[in-house]
């Protein structure tokens, strides 16, 4: 049986893939918002002078970096429902799983970027009468954000690719849509190539967008 890419356009297959892609993009975006916010809090918590807070954040980091994302998703969707009668929807479990997993890596990006800023800047801010958090917000974080962007871009792209694991908890994202199509026509190569192209377009767009934002922030920082 030879290759026949026209199968992508038959029986509404392309529409099904694009609908799945929309689910992938929307759920990944929600997970990105969660991971960015949670990662910032964990990164700052790791640098806290309060030992209990720093230890708690370290445990969070160790757990989510030390266990596979697939296992975490299975625990959230199947484990909680069966073991603790906490019945999360597939979409909720997916967003929580992706967001909490990614937050562990984002927190280290945040912590590394903040610690790379010269300590004298914090001292200068405090000498001007600003509190620790005011100095962090107005002086440290704006500079750290520019240093976070390249590794954050890599993490966000990785998160988009990791979203393919949501198919195992019945989320109707692009990978699951592709699997359903393949189960009917057995055109593995053509369908999976189409899925790969869709992922490439999304991830390339993220890379280009963050690259432009990075240039803009660098230009504005140079003017300041």
> Alpha-carbon distance 149 to 47, whole Å?
20
Alpha carbon distance 92, 94 (integer Å): 5
The tokens describing 60, both together, are 């969070």
Q: What is the pTM of this model?
A: 0.86
- Angle among Cα 55, 59, 64 to the nearest 5 degrees reads 150
Candidates 91, 92, 96, 102; CA nearest to 35 is 102
Tell me the per-residue pLDDT of 194-210, one tens digit each, with 9 for 90 and over: 999 999 999 999 889 88
- How many separate domains does the chain show? 1
| Helices 188-223 and 141-162, axial angle in degrees (round to 10) | 180
* Segments forming the whole domain that contains residue 193: 5-223
For residue 176, the model assigns a pLDDT of 93
Confidence of residue 218 (pLDDT cuts 50, 70, 90): low
Q: How many Cα atoms are found within 13 Å in the side-chain-facing hemisphere of 77?
A: 23
CA dist list (Å): 48 to 38, 82, 125, 147 = 15, 37, 18, 21
What phi and psi values does residue 33 have, to the nearest 5 degrees?
-60, -45
pLDDT, one tens digit per residue, over 11-20 is 899 999 999 9
Summarize the confidence of residues 135-144 as an average pLDDT: 77
CATH code where residue 101 lies: 1.10.3720.10
């Amino acid at each position: 049986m030879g290759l026949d890419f026209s199968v992508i356009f038959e029986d509404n297959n392309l529409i099904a893939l694009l609908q799945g892609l929309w689910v992938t993009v929307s759920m990944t975006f929600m997970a990105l918002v969660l991971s960015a916010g949670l990662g910032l809090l964990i990164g700052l918590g790791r640098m806290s002078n309060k030992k209990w807070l720093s230890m708690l954040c370290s445990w969070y980091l160790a757990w989510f970096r030390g266990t596979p994302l697939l296992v975490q998703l299975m625990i959230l969707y199947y484990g909680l429902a069966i073991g603790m009668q906490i019945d999360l929807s597939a979409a909720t479990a997916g967003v929580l799983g992706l967001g909490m997993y990614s937050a562990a890596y984002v927190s280290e990006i945040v912590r590394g970027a903040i610690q790379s800023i010269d300590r004298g800047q914090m001292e200068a801010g405090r000498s001007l009468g600003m509190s620790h958090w005011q100095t962090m917000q107005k002086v440290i974080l704006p500079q750290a954000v520019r240093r976070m962007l390249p590794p954050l871009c890599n993490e966000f792209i990785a998160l988009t690719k990791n979203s393919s694991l949501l198919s195992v908890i019945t989320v109707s994202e692009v990978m699951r849509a592709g699997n359903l199509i393949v189960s009917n026509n057995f055109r593995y190569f053509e369908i999976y190539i189409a899925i790969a192209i869709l992922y490439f377009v999304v991830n390339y767009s993220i890379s280009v967008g963050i690259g432009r934002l990075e240039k803009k922030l660098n230009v504005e920082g140079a003017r300041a």
